[in-house]
């Protein structure tokens, strides 16, 4: 079967592997610097497949050679958020981890499509693109699917209905400035704006934007993994099967929506070639303004990332005195 490699065998990576194994659509390689954790979880998942059925081969490793010729590389490696920590606080911590993962993965799978999950999501997605040099259509950040699922669950809870009947849409960066779109969120085709008042929608939108932090504050020692894992697996499935699904994902803006050239959440058709098309919605002025504010925040963090890389490069250079000596 098609090979999918997951870089990082922590809670999120292992959950992605679990969902993919249950779908029986690909062989799975779990890679982690802690080889024992990767091998142990791979063995456990292999035994679970004997219960649930399927033929997926699941391998645990710390050697990037085992990821060779992957169709999809999922990057979940990095430090999770802790209470009081924003996604942007992780910028410096995770940049070096994600850079190395991207370079090594691309070395052995030059034709792979990358799905990035590590936080801060949109900046790490940009970083993977820069480190690999692949087409923007082959680097996709997992954020909009998760954020939309959170909005969807809050809508279902508010209306006391099945979440299956709800379709929600959240664009923008994966952070406090994300942009839930009630006008494009429906219950079996009926706009949410027809069913819930504006004040309550605003409250649910705010809760969606802080959805990850809410879970972090409960857990104390980690961040969400079940919903992120499920959302990531859904994206991978669309790529592996060529499903051509419309999902909000963190992608390069290109010339769409008049936004800065960054990676941010936009609606796309996701299929076997990765991003097959960015969908242009007819947003109103307020929605466009919110999307631009979110994109500008990402642009500022990308600038900060590049500054940190320059500072690190200078710090690594021998001093003039050392050279003269």
Question: Which pLDDT tens digits describe the chain residue by residue (325 residues)?
Answer: 899 999 999 999 999 999 999 999 999 999 999 999 999 999 999 999 999 988 999 999 999 999 999 999 999 998 876 667 665 677 878 998 999 999 999 999 999 999 999 999 999 999 999 999 999 999 999 989 999 999 999 999 999 999 999 999 999 999 999 999 999 999 999 999 999 999 999 999 999 999 999 998 999 888 899 999 999 999 999 999 999 999 999 999 987 889 999 999 999 999 999 999 999 999 999 999 999 999 999 999 999 898 888 887 888 777 555 555 4
Identified catalytic residue from 106, 174, 218, 252: 174
- Residue by residue, DSSP assigns 128-189 as HHHHH---GGGEEE--HHHHHHHHHHHHHHHHTS-GGGEE--EEB-SSTT-EE-GGG-EETT
Domain shared by 226 and 251, yes or no: yes
308 within some domain: no
Shortest CA distance to 121 belongs to which of 104, 142, 136? 142
Dihedral sign, Cα of residue 244, residue 248, residue 251, residue 255: positive
Question: Kindly report the CA angle at 142 between 55 and 232, in degrees rounded to 5?
Answer: 20
Domain shared by 77 and 219, yes or no: no
Tell me, yes or no, if 252 is annotated catalytic.
no
- Residue by residue, DSSP assigns 214-255 as HHHHHHSS----HHHHHHHHHHHHHHHHT--EEEEEEEE-TT
242 within some domain: yes
Domain shared by 125 and 157, yes or no: no
Domain shared by 152 and 288, yes or no: yes
> H or E segment at 30?
strand 27-31
212 within some domain: yes
Q: Give Cβ neighbours of residue 136 (< 8 Å, ≥ 6 apart).
A: 129, 251, 252, 254, 275
277 within some domain: yes
108 within some domain: yes
What 3-state class would DSSP assign to 33? coil
246 within some domain: yes
Domain shared by 29 and 76, yes or no: yes
**Structural tokens at position 256:** 């769409």
Domain shared by 131 and 152, yes or no: no
110 within some domain: yes
Domain shared by 170 and 152, yes or no: yes
Residue 209 structural domain: 144-299
Specify the pTM. 0.94
Distance CA 117, CA 99 (A): 13
Domain shared by 169 and 252, yes or no: yes
Domain shared by 105 and 150, yes or no: no
Domain shared by 185 and 62, yes or no: no
Domain shared by 136 and 167, yes or no: no
Domain shared by 154 and 288, yes or no: yes
314 within some domain: no
**For the chain, what is the domain count?**
2
């Amino acid at each position: 079967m098609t090979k999918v490699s997951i870089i990082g065998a922590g809670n999120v990576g292992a959950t992605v592997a679990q969902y993919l194994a249950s779908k029986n659509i690909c062989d799975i390689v779990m890679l982690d610097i802690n080889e024992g954790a990767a091998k142990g979880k791979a063995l456990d998942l292999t035994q679970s497949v004997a219960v649930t059925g399927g033929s997926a081969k699941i391998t645990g490793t710390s050697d990037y050679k085992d990821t060779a010729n992957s169709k999809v590389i999922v990057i979940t490696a990095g430090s999770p958020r802790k209470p009081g920590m924003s996604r942007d606080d992780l910028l410096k911590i995770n940049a070096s981890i994600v850079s190395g993962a991207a370079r090594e993965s691309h070395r052995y799978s030059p034709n792979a499509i990358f799905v990035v999950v590590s936080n801060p999501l949109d900046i790490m997605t940009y970083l993977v693109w820069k480190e690999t040099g692949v087409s923007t259509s082959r680097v996709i950040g997992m954020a909009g699917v998760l954020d939309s699922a959170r909005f969807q669950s809050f809508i279902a809870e508010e209306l006391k209905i099945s979440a299956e009947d709800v379709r929600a849409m959240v664009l923008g960066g994966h952070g406090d400035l994300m942009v839930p779109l009630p006008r494009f969120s429906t219950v079996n085709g009926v706009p949410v704006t027809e069913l819930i008042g504006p004040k309550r929608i605003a409250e649910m939108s705010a809760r969606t934007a802080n959805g990850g932090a809410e879970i972090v504050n409960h857990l104390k020692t980690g961040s969400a993994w079940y919903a992120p894992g499920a959302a990531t697996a859904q994206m991978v499935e669309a790529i592996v099967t060529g499903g051509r699904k419309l999902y909000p994902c963190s992608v390069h803006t290109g010339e769409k929506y008049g936004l800065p050239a960054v990676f941010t959440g936009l609606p796309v058709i996701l299929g076997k070639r990765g991003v097959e098309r960015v969908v242009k919605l007819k947003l109103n002025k307020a929605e466009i303004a919110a999307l631009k504010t979110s994109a500008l925040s990402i642009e500022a963090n990308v600038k900060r990332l590049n500054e940190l890389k320059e500072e690190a490069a200078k710090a690594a250079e021998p001093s003039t005195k050392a050279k003269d000596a």
